[in-house]
Amino acid sequence: MRHTFRLSFPVLVAASVISAAAIGSFAADAGPAARPNIVLLMADQFRADCLGSDGNKAIRTPNLDGLAADGARFRCAYTSTPSCTPARSGLLTGLSPWHHGMLGMGRMAEHYERELPALLHGAGYYAIGVGKMHYYPQRNLHGFDRTILDESGRIQTADFVSDYRCWFRSLAPTLDPDATGMGWNDYRAKTYALPEELHPTRWTADVAVRFVQNYSGASPFFLKVSFARPHSPYDPPERFMKMYTDAQVPAAHLGSWASGNDVPLDPPDYNRWRGNLGPEQVRQSRRAYYGSVTFVDEQIGRILAALRQRKLLDNTLILFTADHGDMLGDHHLWRKTYAYESSVRIPMLIRWPVSMAAERGQVLAQPVELRDVLPTFLDAAGIAAPADAFDGKSLLELVRGNAAGWRSCIDLEHSRCYRGTEHWNALTDGRTKYIFFSQSGKEQLFDLQSDPGELHDLAGDAGHRELLETWRARMVRHLAERGPAFVRDGKLVSPRPDMLYGDRFPKKAGQEPSSTLLGPR
């Protein structure tokens, strides 16, 4: 049943006052204003192929495509550990999974020696985060001056209520923010049951726009805007659902190797991680997911417009990315944590200030990853860092045409997440992908150039034996630093125990990190 609640003009004014009070004056210490502002735009569970600029003819993403046209798109961008918290740990630290210590989905560390917001804050930036951070504890700032949070329904400490939910209660005390009635890992599709102005995607952009409109500090600012969508629930407002009613959304990729994921659906489980739900359910889920993507794109357009209106756009570095993708039924798989392109390949777009001379509209093929964001921002801000401080590199070097010495491939992995899965490690250069499964010893090999949907596993093909051995040897070299639990006598160890946290994960004295997952992912 649809709610008939409508926002009247006085309520909208009240909402604006509430938000302004929550945000404050944004006063900041004086700093070198000539340095660029930095804006990190982030979406949760956003597939790289859901951009018009990536070749998707069904999706509508004009604002993100505009960023790509006016900057650069990295078509081989990946997330090394494709679930929320380990991906965000790489973003926070500039490190690879083994070096920041999160090999799967668990609680983030409370503190690292070097963290992106803290480094920018320490260099004189006013740092603010808006939307989903997924930190632990949830009010942990990690160096931000302020965070204004939408943590969905996630409650990891007894007294936590997100800022979005506080705002929602003050504006619509008789309504339920979860009235659409779907779970946070639900594959179903429904139109948002409340007025569009109450949707968390709209709220996140509203807060970010008000920050841009009202910021008056002397320091440059670092603004992180992290949308909780298009992560499920797939619940766009009605106009976006209608937008894709007749759209020819791509069908699911179904690999010849994926029959093991074609499992029965009885009893019903709306939070399934695998299963053949049929082409019509895939279409409906993708139609709503596409609507959520376009809703996020529209709200990003509002943020860009606010920067333009304040005449800040030309002195702002803007980067858009995601923490991971979404399988959406590919290979009869749902959600994320898999080694396949729908899960690990993410959008990465960058637009630089006019003061930086570089060709705009570039499409770059080097393998890049979330660990590269922190060094990129330090580079833009003119902040020097020790050469060995990070595993990531500045994307601006590629934009400037300095590709010499760039990595040849990127490492990917995830510990066991769903029952029946196993820890996997993978390597890819964007053209070939090698996957090793730690318990079974199974290998997969894909030619991403001729087979971007990963339909044909070449690991058992005698004609590709030499290529398989080459990539297996690369994996041996990559994992060697982890010791005999991973590599022994020059060979990959299997079976090996599943590992959620590595030895370098920072933990409090006398405590082990908790692997308990509270609330939605």
Residue 133 identity (one-letter amino acid): M
The pairing of strands 72-74 and 37-44 is unpaired
Burial label for 49, CB within 10 Å (0-12, 13-18, 19+), is middle
pTM score, whole prediction? 0.92
CA distance 414 to 104: 5
What contacts 501, CB < 8 A, 6 or more positions away? 101, 102, 103, 106, 507, 513, 515
Give the residue among 103, 137, 130 at the shortest CA–CA distance from 518.
137
CA distance 146 to 140: 10
pLDDT on residue 265? 73
CA distance 310 to 422: 50
Only one residue has tokens 């994926």, namely 258
Full pLDDT tens readout for the chain, 521 residues: 444 444 432 333 333 333 333 333 333 333 444 799 999 999 999 999 999 999 999 999 999 999 999 999 999 999 999 999 999 999 999 999 999 999 999 999 999 999 999 999 999 999 999 999 999 999 999 999 999 999 988 888 888 999 999 999 999 999 999 999 999 999 999 999 999 999 999 999 999 999 999 999 999 999 999 999 999 999 999 999 999 999 999 999 999 999 999 987 767 789 889 999 999 999 999 999 999 999 999 999 999 999 999 999 999 999 999 999 999 999 999 999 999 999 999 999 999 999 998 999 999 999 999 999 999 999 999 999 888 999 999 999 999 999 999 999 999 999 999 988 999 999 999 999 999 999 999 999 999 999 999 999 999 999 999 999 999 999 999 999 999 999 999 999 999 989 999 999 998 754 555 543 323 34
**9-411 is a CATH 3.40.720.10 domain:** yes
CA distance 413 to 98: 10
**DSSP structure string for 139-169:** T--TT-SEEEE--TT---STT---HHHHHHH
Q: Which residues are catalytic?
A: 84, 134
CA distance 152 to 312: 31
CA distance 82 to 107: 15
pLDDT on residue 4? 41
Structure tokens at 419: 């029952």
Only one residue has tokens 């370098």, namely 504
Could you give the count of Cα atoms lying within 13 Å of 25 in the half-sphere of its Cβ?
A: 6
What contacts 451, CB < 8 A, 6 or more positions away? none
CA distance 53 to 349: 10
What distance lies between CA 302 and its chain's CA centroid?
20
